[in-house]
Amino acid sequence: MKIALLQINPTVNDFDGNVARIEAAAREAVAAGAELCVAPELALCGYPPHDLMLQSRFAARNEAACDRLVRLSAALRCGLLFGLVLASDNPRGKPLSNGAVLCDSGRVLAVKRKALLPTYDVFDERRYFEPDFTPCVAEFRGRRLGLLICEDVWVEESVLGRIEYSQDPAAECVSRGADLLINISASPWQEGKHRLRERLCAAVARRLKRPLLLCNQWGGNDDLIFDGGSLAVGADGLTCARGRLFGDDVVAVEHLAARANQPQTWAEDDIADQIEALCLGIRDYFRKTGFAKALLGLSGGIDSALVACLAQRALGRENVKGITMPTRFSSRGSVEDSRLLAQALGIGFEVVPIDGAFENLRTLCGKPGGLAEENLQARVRGLVLMTRSNAEGSLVLATGNQSELAVGYSTLYGDMCGALEVIGDLSKMRVYEMARRFSEIPPDTHTKAPSAELRENQTDQDSLPPYPQLDALLEGYLDGRLDIEDLVAQGQDAALARRVARMVEVAEFKRRQAPIVLRVSRYAFGAGRRMPVAKKLPS
């Protein structure tokens, strides 16, 4: 039996569009001989729909779209398996289920409701859904299909270590006679996630001695980026087919007993993957919010240069504009490097001096001096960008990196203005690594000392530890969730560890007001990191 994994890019709340995407991919698959077409988790409504699910007619809209696909299965004479929101069949608990429907030739054969509902990191499915631990094994054209939804297979201790569940839905399907496991998924990407997912599927298939198919969505939805990377794994744990990363694909699977051909492997290049992910995140954020044009401040530094390169690649040069806003503290080289970058990228460019506006506002604010005056310059730049974007119908891209966001080396209502924080999940050192992939960035931008240029002869290192040292501390404190004592035990300087930890915690109120950060790492700022603002600080 030929099965097709329909790797599509759903838009949240676009039922008509999502049905059309499934239909187009299914018609392509059926023309190539597919008997069963599999679409991702919550493919009808898009993932994650969050509190849209609480609206009174949301489940009904899912079921109406479901009826259309059931009729489509009759027209195509093909089976369809797809994800949607269903009304729960439990009279108690949450009123909704994260579900899947299997239909064939106009008849519903099985309805599956998700068993394992993640509540860690960016996930909050238990907020909306009632779990259903009943195994679902469906008869389909001579096969017994064990139906699973995303988290239902994330219970493999040999790959994941400690897990949060006592149930094993895949094993329960096998105990009920399933000879093939199919998992529909909306698994967001982070660096290396597609390789982890493949190791997981291989381990599950080997342990249960059953082939496993996984169909994953792709695309950007707010801060989350989905890679696709759908998989077919044989009962021996060997990969039979892989879907492409960050793009549409129809993955045809026919021979699961043994690999007839070696499937094309994914490149082992994390920086290239992150570039693709960030460009996808930008592109889909603009497309799905109905905007086309981006605006950003160009400072002549490495961060804004990288954001400009990513935006140009994602949106096209005609849709990106950079504005350089010099003051008396701006070096001639910074203005010239911004100009050279814009010329190399072919994007719009403008120089808007802000010294006069800064002086007027400085007087209006009582000539505060010190850090307040430095921040005032940043806020004038934010004012220019936000006003221009408002007038032109564009969106502002913020240019802060993860290291700066972590320690609060940024200005609220200044350089933190914007709709999207493109590189807010990249450490400063990763920014430098990624920027080397773009030949358009002027050489001086790579080598000059990082500086906000808000006072004479200023560099970032006047206020921060050297970035390699800072990033190493942040990796342990944020990604590793190590306490100060643990950092010191690893060889970090105690006073510096306390200083950095305190800076991170003090800056929490700023991050609550930051733009959406595109997530490409394991532990990003945003929905996956929920820290209190009011708390006792490290000392």
Q: Give the whole-angstrom CA distance, residue 231 versus residue 240.
A: 8
The Cα–Cα gap between 127 and 95 comes to 11
Q: How far, in Å, CA of 18 to CA of 38, rounded?
A: 14
Assess whether 63 carries a catalytic annotation: no
- Tell me the C-alpha distance between 270 and 205, whole Å: 26
Backbone angles phi, psi at 188, to 5 degrees: -70, 155
Is 41 noted as a catalytic residue in this protein? yes
Give the contacts of 57 (CB within 8 A, at least 6 positions apart). Answer: none
Tokens standing for 426?
A: 């990249």
**Which one, of 522, 520, 526, 478, lies nearest residue 272 by Cα?**
520
What six digits make up the tokens of 423?
């590189």
DSSP state string for 154-188: ---HHHHSS-S-S--HHHHHHHTT-SEEEEEE--B
Q: How far apart are CA 420 and CA 430, in angstroms?
A: 19
Please state, in angstroms and rounded to a whole number, the distance separating the CA atoms of residues 169 and 113: 11
The residue from 23, 35, 37, 41 that is catalytic is: 41
What residues have CB less than 8 Å from 221, skipping those under 6 apart? 12, 46, 47, 48, 284, 288
Strand partners, 83: 100
Please tell me the total number of residues recorded for the chain in this structure: 539
With beta carbons less than 8 A apart as the criterion, state whether 115 and 133 touch: yes
Structure tokens at 516: 């959406």
Residue 185's closest CA among 139, 250, 140, 231? 231
Token output for 514: 């930051």
Q: Which of 23, 37, 114, 151 is catalytic?
A: 114
**Bridge-based pairing state of the strands 395-398 and 420-421:** parallel
Of 45, 66, 136, 150, the active-site residue reads 150
Angstrom distance (rounded) from CA 79 to CA 107: 9
Q: What's CA 450's distance to the chain center, in Å?
A: 28
Number of other residues whose CB lies within 10 A of the CB of residue 4: 27
In this structure, what token pair is assigned to residue 480? 């590793």
Q: What is the number of other CB atoms lying within 10 angstroms of the CB of residue 447?
A: 8
Told to judge if 209 belongs to the known catalytic residues of this protein, a careful annotator would answer: no
Which candidate, 156, 164, 136, places its Cα nearest to that of 196? 156
Residue 491: in which H helix or E strand, if any? none
- What six digits make up the tokens of 493? 């300087």
Strands (E), 73-211: 79-87, 96-104, 107-113, 137-140, 143-149, 180-185
H or E stretch covering 24: helix 15-31
CA dist 30 and 185 (Å) reads: 21
Residues designated catalytic: 41, 114, 150
